[in-house]
A and B are shown apart, each in its own frame.
Chain A
Amino acid sequence: MNRFVPLLIVVFLVVLFAAMMGGDRNPQELKSVLIGKEAPAFDLESVIEGQEGLSNTALATGDPIIVNFFASWCVPCRAEHENLMKLAETYKVPVYGIAYKDKVTASRAFLEELGNPYVQTGADLSGIVGIDFGVTGVPETFVIDGDGVIRYRHWGPVIGTAVEDKILPELEKAR
């Protein structure tokens, strides 16, 4: 057996670890397999009374948009809400909301309390649309391009400077 083999294995591992520790990779985060694919088909009732519901066909608007999964029972959703408002109001990005496994009345109260950043909403009562999107929990945020193709998934809440650092550049890329 060559006496250098163990050393070479260790060098390889050190390089591997160093490479994987760089950047802001989060090992808890599962990458979406839907990137580059069209958003899955769905058709949901709106959370807001009298408003039109949300379906996948409405997502292909010709411009990049945001789809955000949220729920009134989810604490991190509250934390990112301010940023969603900013996206919609300051940056004029169309944000679509899907309420994940949430009572319609509760989602509505949530939006009345904190403000409604969404152009349109859909109530995913059973969570089946969430499953189709591969959502592992709420909140999760998707960037969808003008053709209705998913370009980026943000895992967890969009907090801090994530709007400027992540979401806006991804929207730009999707243009």
Chain B
Amino acid sequence: MIAEIGHFAVILALIASLIGATFPHVGIARNDDRLMILGGRMAYVQFVCMIVAFGALMYSYVISDFSVLNVATNSHSAKPLLYKIAGTWGNHEGSLLLWALMLSLFAAAVALRGKRLPLRFQSRAIAVQNLLGFGFLLFIVATSNPFERLDPVAIEGNGLNPLLQDPGLIFHPPMLYLGYVGLSAAFSFAVAALIEGEVSPAWARWVRPWTLAAWVLLTGGIALGSWWAYYELGWGGWWFWDPVENASFMPWLAATALLHSAIVVEKRDALKSWTILLAIIAFSLSLLGTFIVRSGVVVSVHAFASDPTRGIFILGFLAFVIGGSLALYAWRAPSLVPGGLFGMVSRESALVLNNILLSTFAGVVLVGTLYPLVLEAFDGSQISVGPPFFEFAAAVLMSPLVIALGFGPLLAWKRGNLSRAARILLPAFLAAVLGGIALTLSAGTGVVMTAFGFALALYLAVSVLLEIAGRIQLFKAPGKAFGRLRSLPRASWGMAFAHFGLAIVILGMTVSEAFTDETLTVLRPGEGAEVGDYVFTLKSVEGTTGPNYTAVRGTLDVTENGRLITVLTPEDRVYTNPVTNTTEASITPLFSGDLYAVIGESAGGGAWSMRLYFKPMISGLWVGSIMMMLGGLLSLSDRRLRIGSPEGRKKHASVKTAGGDQATKQPSSDTAAASAKVETPA
């Protein structure tokens, strides 16, 4: 009964989305307000239906209703409750239902928040959002019904892949999906703007909060996935350039670029056509990710069991959405009037450079991900593109990005002063060079790239601090600096946090990659092994059981200079349904780095093979990611974005900050703002 209600709700949502996708356009053509408003109404209906549908599936999982095929295939009654719930989205059908739920959530949110938008524009955007929902719901109903019944009823379920029975499953996919789907709002706004043939600074103000929210969620989703891989797979790797990882990374790069280019549209009315294109591309890359996971065209650890009809359907949908929107772009882009001009050295051109580098990188990742497929299609040979390719591209493209990132915030809009920015950044360069040299001297030869990465991270961190110091005139008028610090707009804090977070991520990456201490050894209880400055001593190895697994658990004392630091308890688990072996690494994060232990197979005679690591500063990856997310949230909470309307901006103009953050649109006052530069608050 419950499953049927769920199925019915999905069909109802499908109908609602179809009405919501078509009627608003009719309404606009006939100038009928009621039909235009219908789009938003249908978005609400869709959202409610999807909550019912998803709730129904989740309920079937919780009570282990094995008369539902999807539950019988992917769950097991002995599974802990938490994983029964999370198992709802640990499979193709369930995760697709989650996608559709989130899509309807964003459609409803746009309808709710979009009341401030002009009705015509809002209706167009919601209609596009509904159309996306329609595509996904049709896909669910036609090929991937999660509510299909099983007759005769299964007595027991097949169980969930034990690798997925982890807290990672609870947070990683929903967050990542929210990020993917969040980009649909920017996409819908872009398509609506193309249909209407107008992009204004106001458009950028509407689109930026959605992009920012999606970006925060994507950042979190990717970081969580990387963290999950780090502790679950048992060898301390955190990024593999796997096609599906790349598929999540490309939209992130595009969204990052979009965030920055939308600023230019908002403040300076320039880069309009490009920003629209980016908004389309960012969401298209999200769709590509979904396609790659579900179609089985590429080899990936993430792939769901693939089915040709599903693959064909998604491909058709992909071709329609991406092809359609890009065709619309090709047709309508010339009607977008180019806006403000800017000099070679200016905040705008710094942001353009940011965009060129980020999108080039996204393009390179796309080529690297699909190149094996292209090659196989043309000459049948098989290759794989490995980390060296991507890492080289990352180093070549991201280093200039980081260097430019120091300058960007110091340049004024329209025309900046490069040498002045360089003077301000002098301490940052100094810190970078000294840090790089110090690292090379202490670590010996062969660490050129590491020293460079380390120097980049230092440079970026110091330049962010310098920029803040400049804003609050810490060195010029220190007396009032604290007060100015407090009155800095949240968007400025957001930028500083995000950029500083990036510095921490780079630091974590370079240092942990270069200086990890690793020991593979065989230990008997009582024996110890040295890993860097630490001694890991195996105390005991004993059997243990969990709700649906048995395990061997080792207990290790970790000491530094004879002082006990922590006790690690890695496990080697054997799950019963299905029979699978997983390693549970035991990790203690210290400020200086992570202590990481994995227990392997018995080597006979009471001895066990162990893998022991010390990974310096690896927490930087996650701490930095959290800072970036915080930055995004701070920026999102900024009054100017929250209000999102010109009136709000005027009211707020009393705390007008420098650098043209509040630059007005009139060219005359703009020049004045530019010449006022950073030091003079208005």
Contacts and interface: CB of A to CB of B under 8 A. Distances in A.
A17 B298 CA distance: 10
Given A18-B315, A21-B315, A31-B380, A7 B326 contact: yes
A31 B308 CA distance: 21
Given A7-B330, A14-B318, A27-B299, A20 B377 contact: yes
B386 interface: no
Contact of B326 (A10, A17, A19, A21): A10
Interface string A1-25: 0011011001101101111110000
A94 B470 CA distance: 83
B329 A31 contact: no
A106 interface: no
B277 A6 contact: yes
20 contacts: A3-B273, A3-B333, A3-B334, A4-B330, A6-B330, A7-B323, A7-B326, A7-B330, A10-B322, A10-B326, A13-B370, A14-B318, A14-B323, A17-B295, A17-B297, A17-B315, A19-B377, A21-B297, A27-B298, A31-B380
A20 B382 CA distance: 13
Interface size class of chain B, counting residues whose CB lies under 8 Å from the partner chain: 20 to 34
Interface size class of chain A, counting residues whose CB lies under 8 Å from the partner chain: 10 to 19
Contacts of B190: none
Contacts of A4: 330
Contacts of A14: 315, 318-319, 323
A10 B320 CA distance: 10
Given A3-B334, A6-B326, A21-B297, 5 more contacts: A7-B329, A10-B319, A17-B291, A21-B311, A28-B299
Contacts of A13: 370
Contacts, number: 60
Contacts of A10: 284, 319, 322-323, 326
A114 interface: no
A166 B295 CA distance: 24
B418 interface: no
Contacts of B376: 20
A16 B370 contact: yes
B571 to A, nearest CB: 25
Interface string B269-310: 000010001001100100000010001111100000000100
A16 B374 contact: yes
B364 interface: no
A34 to B, nearest CB: 13
B312 interface: yes
B514 to A, nearest CB: 32
B107 to A, nearest CB: 24
B373 interface: yes
Contacts of B603: none
Interface string A31-63: 100000000000000000000000000000000
Given A13-B370, A14-B315, A27 B297 contact: yes
A30 B326 contact: no
A27 B300 CA distance: 9
A30 to B, nearest CB: 6
Given A14-B318, A21-B308, A31 B382 contact: yes
B129 to A, nearest CB: 21
A47 to B, nearest CB: 27
A30 B327 CA distance: 37
A16 B377 contact: yes
Interface string B327-358: 10110011000000000000000000000000
B330 A3 contact: yes
B297 A7 contact: no
Contacts of B377: 16, 19-20
A20 B281 contact: no
